[in-house]
Amino acid sequence: MVLPTTTMTSFTQYFTGPARDFLVRAVDLALEEDGPDLTAKAVFVRGDRLTARIVAKEDTLVAGLPIADIVLERMGILSVTQCDYRAADGQRVAPGAVVALFTGPAVGLLKAERVILNFLCHLSGIANLTARYVAALSGSRTRLLDTRKTLPGLRYPEKYAVLMGGGCNHRRDLAEMLMLKDNHIDRAGGIPQAVAAVRRAFPDSRPPLEVECRTLEEVRQAVTEAPERIMLDNMTPDQMREALALIPSSIETELSGGVTLDALPALGALGADFISVGRITHSAPYADFSMQLAQVE
């Protein structure tokens, strides 16, 4: 058995069940934060309509564009808005490209503008940074993983954006897989004791197990316990190389801890299954999109 690793998928495939519930709640919160658009209500009258174009202002991947439908639906104006999507998530577009065109109620589109752009710019930025990290691993067998270092409430959309950049998802919540980290291992008295505790707690069936190792001796202990994956945490490249030689191919391997873009080619050459990087979600810059609006006569 290997650990579940979510790879490239479509928006509708990804956002089902809890993933969609969390996304809808994030959209609702964003709309609530903005409150009513009193300025637009003062200037526009009922029946006024606008055409809104979302335009890329830089070379960028697209991620999160279908969230616009959810925003408009939660506002109650999707049924009276014409939506023309001219780009798809995961697609790279050039500066000046129109990725979507909406025609609908003026006050509604003005309120939706910033919420739609905030999601689109943030998620596309994550996709862009992820793509750079994936490119740095080109030619190796190693796949890029994200982490749980995500903004509260945005875990699912941010991890979806990683997929649009060509990366893979690590566990999306604490129940998706078991991970014995330093605090668990220290409390249990060592790796054998920690693994035994997990197996006692889940005797019949359990999620896959990953064990975090800080030293070569811990790697040796973990190998004896045969978890599904072993993580090498904050080791030097030489230590990683030696540790990987100790782990049989039946156990997946993951490198983690302070991984930089410049270091990725050399780390990929070590031959681990995965490298996990928190920076692709917690430090990604916004992609630059704008919404251009014009009144419909």
Q: 106 in a domain, yes or no?
A: yes
Q: Is 212 a catalytic residue?
A: yes
Kindly tell me the number of DSSP H helices and DSSP E strands found in the chain.
12, 12
The catalytically annotated residue of 113, 233, 252, 273 is 233
List the alpha helices (DSSP H) in the chain: 11-14, 18-34, 38-43, 67-75, 106-136, 155-164, 182-188, 191-201, 216-225, 237-246, 264-268, 279-282
Domain match, 162 and 277 both? yes
Q: 6 in a domain, yes or no?
A: no
Domain match, 258 and 170 both? yes
Q: 290 in a domain, yes or no?
A: yes
Domain count within the chain: 2
Pairwise CA distance, residues 130 & 282, whole Å: 11
Q: Is 111 a catalytic residue?
A: no
Q: 2 in a domain, yes or no?
A: no
The catalytically annotated residue of 86, 114, 132, 220 is 114
Domain match, 151 and 86 both? no
Domain match, 264 and 180 both? yes
Q: Is 181 a catalytic residue?
A: yes
Domain match, 266 and 188 both? yes
Average pLDDT over the chain, rounded to an integer: 95
Domain match, 204 and 278 both? yes
Domain match, 80 and 144 both? no
The catalytically annotated residue of 158, 212, 218, 273 is 212
> 91: closest CA among 54, 128, 53, 117?
128
Domain match, 125 and 145 both? no
Q: 8 in a domain, yes or no?
A: no
Domain match, 105 and 146 both? no
Sequence-ordered list of residues with C-beta below 8 angstroms from that of 39, at least 6 positions apart, any chain? none
Domain match, 87 and 150 both? no
Domain match, 264 and 147 both? yes
Q: Is 233 a catalytic residue?
A: yes
Q: 208 in a domain, yes or no?
A: yes
Provide the edge-to-edge strand list for the sheet that holds 209-213.
143-145, 274-276, 252-256, 229-233, 209-213, 178-180
pLDDT in tens, 226-265: 999 999 999 999 999 999 999 999 999 999 998 999 999 9
The catalytically annotated residue of 53, 86, 148, 149 is 149
Q: Is 114 a catalytic residue?
A: yes
pLDDT (tens, 9 = 90+) of the chain, 297 residues, equals 344 466 556 899 999 999 999 999 999 999 999 999 999 999 999 999 999 999 999 999 999 999 999 999 999 999 999 999 999 999 999 999 999 999 999 999 999 999 999 999 999 999 999 999 999 999 999 999 999 999 999 999 999 999 999 999 999 999 999 999 999 999 999 999 999 999 999 988 889 999 999 999 999 999 999 999 999 999 999 999 999 999 999 999 999 998 999 999 999 999 999 999 999 999 999 999 999 999 887
* Full residue range of the structural domain in which residue 259 is found: 139-282
Domain match, 235 and 168 both? yes
The catalytically annotated residue of 53, 74, 148, 181 is 181
Q: The domain spanning residue 126 has which CATH number? A: 3.90.1170.20
Q: 1 in a domain, yes or no?
A: no
Q: The domain spanning residue 219 has which CATH number? A: 3.20.20.70
